[in-house]
Amino acid sequence: MSSIEHAHALVAEAGRVATFTGAGLSAESGIDTFRDPATGYWARYDPAELASPAGFAADPGLVIDWYNHRRRTLAAAEPNAAHRALAEQADLTHVTQNVDHLLERAGAQRVLHLHGSIGLDRCHRACGYEERIDISAPPGLRPCPSCGAPLRPAVVWFGETLPEATWIASVEAISAADLLLVIGTSGVVYPAAGLIDHARSTGAAVVVVNAEPIRAPADVAVIGSAADLVPMILAGRRVGQADAGPGSDVW
Ligand code: APR
Ligand 1, atom 13: closest residue by C-alpha: 211
C-alpha of residue 78 to centroid of ligand 1, in Å: 18
pLDDT tens column, 145-164: 999 999 999 999 999 999 99
Paired with 120 in beta bridges are 132
Mutate to test the pocket of ligand 1, among 29, 111, 185 (most ligand atoms within 8 A of CB): 185
Is ligand 1 within 6 A of the CB of residue 35? yes
**H or E element, residue 60:** helix 60-75
Q: Give burial (CB, 10 Å; 0-12/13-18/19+) of 190.
A: exposed
> For residues 55 and 116, what is the distance between their CA atoms, to the nearest angstrom?
18
Confidence band for 242, pLDDT divided at 50, 70 and 90: low
Write down the pTM of the prediction.
Answer: 0.95
Domain chopping of the chain, boundaries: 1-31+79-115+162-251, 32-76+117-155
Question: Alpha carbon of 90 to those of 13, 44, 103, 171, 244: distances in Å?
Answer: 17, 40, 12, 19, 12
pLDDT at 40: 79
pLDDT at 39: 77
> 32-76+117-155 — its CATH code?
3.30.1600.10
pLDDT tens column, 117-138: 999 999 999 999 999 999 999 9
Above 70 in pLDDT, residue 248? Answer: no
pLDDT at 42: 87
pLDDT tens column, 15-70: 999 999 999 999 999 998 888 877 778 888 998 899 999 999 999 999 999 999 99
Question: Following DSSP, what letter does each residue of 169-187 receive, concatenated?
Answer: HHHHHHHT-SEEEEES---
Ligand 1, atom 4: closest residue by C-alpha: 24
Question: In terms of CATH, what superfamily is 1-31+79-115+162-251?
Answer: TPP-binding domain (3.40.50.1220)
